[in-house]
C-alpha cells in the first residue's frame, strides 16, 4: 500500500507529460500554419501586379509663324513635317508613370515645374512620375521662357516669347495625359537593344588641341538603341519606346521650315511600319551629331536616309524582342546632385530652386536626377542635360541592371555637362553653354551609380 501512491503518481505524471507534448506539437503546427498563411497572403503585395498601358499622339504643329529654337533667332515660314507630343502611361497597379516626348528643341525647368504643378493639382500626379523629354530638333518653336539660354546666349532671346503657342502646347499635353489615363488597357512589355551608326562625335579637335563643332570619326560615341516594346493583350503593338543619342541638327540654321528633324522623320517612318506610336527619347547627345549635319535643306542633308540609318535599325531590333512581361513593379525616385557652378557665371532668376550658395560663398548647381526601376532588369535615369556620351556609357557599363537607359533632355535644360577630359580642348560645349566645372561628371556618375547599386 505504501508504494501504490507512487505508482499512481507515476501514471499521472506520464499522462501529463504526454498531454504537454501533444499540446506543444499542436501549437507548433498551428504557428507554422498561420505563418505560411500570412506569407501566402503577403506575396501578392510583393509580387508585380498586372501591367496596363496607353499611348496618345497629339499634333502641336503651329498654324502661325514661330521663333525657332536651336540656332540664332529666326522665324519659321512654313512646315516641312508636323510635330507632336507622344504620351505613354505605364500602370503597375500601384503606380502610374507618364513619359512624354515632344518634338521641340528644349525648354526651361521653370516650364516643367509649371506644368508638373498643374498635373499635381488636377490629377494628383507626383512629379517624380511625370517625365517630359524632347527630341531636340532644332527646327521647332520655342516653348516657355528661355531659362539659362539668356545667361549663355542672350542675343538669341531679345524677342518676346509667344505665350499663346506655349499655352497650346501645355494644354494639349495635359489633355493628352487625361486621355491616356482613360485608355489604359492590359499590356505586355519587352526590352532589348539595337545598334545604329546614324550618329558621330561632333567635337572636331585640331592640331592645336582646340575643339570646335564639326565631325570626329575617332571620337567617343554611343550607338546602342535602347528599346521598350509594349504590346496589347492580343499581341498587336501598342507602342515602342526607342532611346538613341543624336542631335536634331540635320537641318541647319538656314532652314526655316518646321520639322522634327531626324528623330521626327524616323518616328513617322517606324510608326507607319509597326502601326503604333514610336516614343523617341534622346540620350546623351551632348557630343554626338547626325552623320549628315547642319544642311540648308532636307534634300541636301539626306534627311530621308535616316529612315534607313536609324529607322530600319529600330525595326530590326524590335523584331527580336519578346513581350512576355505582363506583371510589373515600378519604383521611381529622385536624387539632387549638388556640384560647383562655373566661376563668374550668372544665373536665371526663375531657376533659383536649381542653385544654392553655401555659407562660404560657393555657388552650386542643384541638378535633379530621376530614376525608374522596372522589376529586376530595367533601370532608367534621366536629367535635364546635354550630357556627353562617355558619362552615360560608363554608368551603363557599371550598372547592376541588364538594361540601363539614359533619357536626356528630361524635365528641362540645365546646359551641357562634358567629361573632365573635354575641358582641356575647350570648345562650344565647354566654354559657352556649360554651367559646371570639370568635377561635375564625377559628381553625377557617383550619384547615379550610388543610387542604382543600392536598389
C-alpha span between 262 and 307 (Å, rounded): 8
Contact present, 395 and 404 (Cβ < 8 Å): yes
Indicate the number of domains in the chain: 1
Whether residue 379 lies inside any domain: the answer is yes
Model confidence over 237-261: pLDDT tens digits?
999 999 999 999 999 999 999 999 9
Average pLDDT over residues 340-345: 97
Distance, CA of 377 to chain centre: 16
Whether residue 428 is contained in a domain is answered as yes
Stated pTM of the model = 0.89
Mean pLDDT (the chain, rounded): 91
pLDDT given at position 35: 37
The answer to whether residue 447 sits within a structural domain is yes
- Give percent of the chain with pLDDT exceeding 90: 88
**Residue 362: inside a domain:** yes
pLDDT digits (tens, 9 = 90+) for 75-115: 999 999 999 999 999 999 999 999 999 999 999 999 999 99
Q: Is the pLDDT of residue 170 over 70?
A: yes
State yes or no: pLDDT of 143 exceeds 90: yes
How many other CB atoms sit within 10 Å of the CB of residue 155?
8
In a domain, residue 152? The reply is no
| Residue 150: its H or E element | helix 149-152
> What is the pLDDT at residue 455?
74
Range with the lowest mean pLDDT among 34-43, 119-128, 262-271, 297-306?
34-43
Residue 48 backbone dihedrals phi, psi, to 5 degrees: -60, 150
pLDDT band with cut points at 50, 70 and 90 for residue 49: confident
Output the pLDDT for position 32: 39
Q: Is the dihedral of CA 242, 243, 248, 250 positive or negative?
A: negative
| Residue 332 maps to a domain | yes
Q: Cell numbers 540620350 label which residue?
A: 283
Kindly tell me if the per-residue pLDDT of 40 is higher than 60.
no
What's the mean pLDDT in 52-68? 98
Contact (Cβ atoms closer than 8 angstroms) between residue 98 and residue 177: yes
Establish if 344 belongs to a structural domain. yes
Q: Would you list the DSSP string of 168-222?
A: HHHHHHHHHHHHHHHT-EEEEEEEEEEE---EEEEEEE-TTS-EEEEEETTS---
**pLDDT tens digits, 294-310:** 999 999 999 999 999 99
Category of 412 on φ-ψ map: left (φ > 0), alpha (ψ -120 to 50) or beta = left
pLDDT of residue 47: 61
Check whether 405 has a pLDDT greater than 80. yes
| Contacting residues for 47 by C-beta, under 8 A, at least 6 apart | 327, 329
* Host domain of residue 342: 328-454
Q: Does residue 4 carry a pLDDT above 90? A: no
What is the model's pLDDT at position 284? 98
Burial (Cβ within 10 Å: 0-12, 13-18, ≥19) of residue 281? buried
pLDDT tens digits, one per residue of 182-235? 999 999 999 999 999 999 999 999 999 999 999 999 999 999 999 999 999 999
Select the more confidently predicted residue: 35 or 412: 412
DSSP-H helix ranges across 383-431: 389-398, 428-431
Question: CB neighbours of 336 closer than 8 A, spacing ≥ 6?
Answer: 366, 367, 368, 369
- HSE-CB at 275 with a 13 A cutoff on CA atoms is 5
3-state SS, residue 95: coil
pLDDT for residue 39 is more than 50: no
Query: Is residue 359 a part of any domain in this protein?
Result: yes
pLDDT at 48: 66
d(CA 199, CA 4): 102
Amino acid at each position: 500500500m505504501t508504494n501504490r501512491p507512487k505508482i499512481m503518481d507515476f501514471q499521472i505524471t506520464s499522462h501529463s507529460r504526454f498531454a504537454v507534448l501533444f499540446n506543444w506539437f499542436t501549437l507548433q503546427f498551428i504557428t507554422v500554419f498561420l505563418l505560411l498563411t500570412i506569407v501566402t497572403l503577403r506575396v501578392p503585395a510583393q509580387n508585380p501586379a498586372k501591367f496596363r498601358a496607353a499611348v496618345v499622339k497629339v499634333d502641336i504643329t503651329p498654324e502661325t509663324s514661330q521663333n525657332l529654337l536651336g540656332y540664332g533667332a529666326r522665324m519659321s515660314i512654313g512646315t516641312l513635317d508636323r510635330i507632336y507630343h507622344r504620351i505613354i502611361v505605364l500602370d503597375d497597379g500601384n503606380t502610374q508613370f507618364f513619359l512624354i516626348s515632344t518634338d521641340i528643341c528644349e525648354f526651361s525647368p521653370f516650364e516643367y515645374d509649371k506644368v508638373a504643378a498643374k498635373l499635381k493639382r488636377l490629377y494628383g500626379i507626383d512629379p517624380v512620375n511625370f517625365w517630359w523629354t524632347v527630341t531636340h530638333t532644332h527646327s521647332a518653336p520655342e516653348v516657355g521662357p528661355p531659362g539659362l539660354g539668356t545667361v549663355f546666349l542672350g542675343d538669341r532671346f531679345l524677342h518676346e516669347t509667344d505665350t499663346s503657342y506655349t499655352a497650346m502646347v501645355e494644354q494639349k499635353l495635359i489633355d493628352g495625359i487625361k486621355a491616356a489615363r482613360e485608355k489604359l488597357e492590359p499590356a505586355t512589355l519587352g526590352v532589348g537593344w539595337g545598334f545604329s551608326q546614324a550618329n558621330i562625335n561632333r567635337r572636331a579637335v585640331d592640331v592645336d588641341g582646340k575643339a570646335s563643332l564639326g565631325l570626329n570619326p575617332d571620337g567617343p560615341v554611343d550607338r546602342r538603341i535602347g528599346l521598350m516594346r509594349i504590346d496589347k493583350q492580343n499581341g498587336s503593338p501598342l507602342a515602342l519606346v526607342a532611346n538613341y543619342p543624336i542631335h536634331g541638327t540635320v537641318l541647319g540654321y538656314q532652314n526655316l521650315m518646321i520639322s522634327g528633324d531626324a528623330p521626327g522623320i524616323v518616328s513617322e517612318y517606324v510608326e507607319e511600319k509597326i502601326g503604333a506610336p514610336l516614343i523617341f527619347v534622346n540620350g546623351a547627345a551632348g557630343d554626338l551629331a547626325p552623320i549628315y549635319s547642319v544642311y540648308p535643306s532636307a534634300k541636301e542633308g539626306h534627311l530621308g536616309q535616316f529612315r534607313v540609318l536609324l529607322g530600319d535599325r529600330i525595326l530590326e531590333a524590335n523584331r527580336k524582342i519578346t513581350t512576355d512581361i505582363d506583371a510589373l513593379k515600378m519604383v521611381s525616385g529622385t536624387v539632387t546632385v549638388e556640384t560647383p557652378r562655373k566661376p563668374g557665371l550668372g544665373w536665371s532668376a526663375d531657376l533659383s530652386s536649381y542653385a544654392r550658395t553655401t555659407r562660404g560663398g560657393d555657388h552650386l548647381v542643384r541638378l535633379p536626377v530621376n530614376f525608374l526601376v522596372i522589376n529586376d532588369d530595367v533601370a532608367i535615369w534621366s536629367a535635364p542635360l546635354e550630357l556627353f556620351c562617355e558619362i552615360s556609357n560608363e554608368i551603363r557599363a557599371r550598372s547592376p541592371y541588364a538594361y540601363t537607359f539614359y533619357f536626356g533632355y528630361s524635365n528641362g535644360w540645365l546646359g551641357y555637362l562634358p567629361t573632365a577630359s573635354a575641358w582641356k580642348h575647350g570648345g562650344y560645349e565647354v566654354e559657352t553653354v556649360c554651367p559646371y566645372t570639370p568635377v561635375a561628371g564625377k559628381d553625377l556618375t557617383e550619384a547615379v551609380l550610388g543610387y542604382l547599386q543600392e536598389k
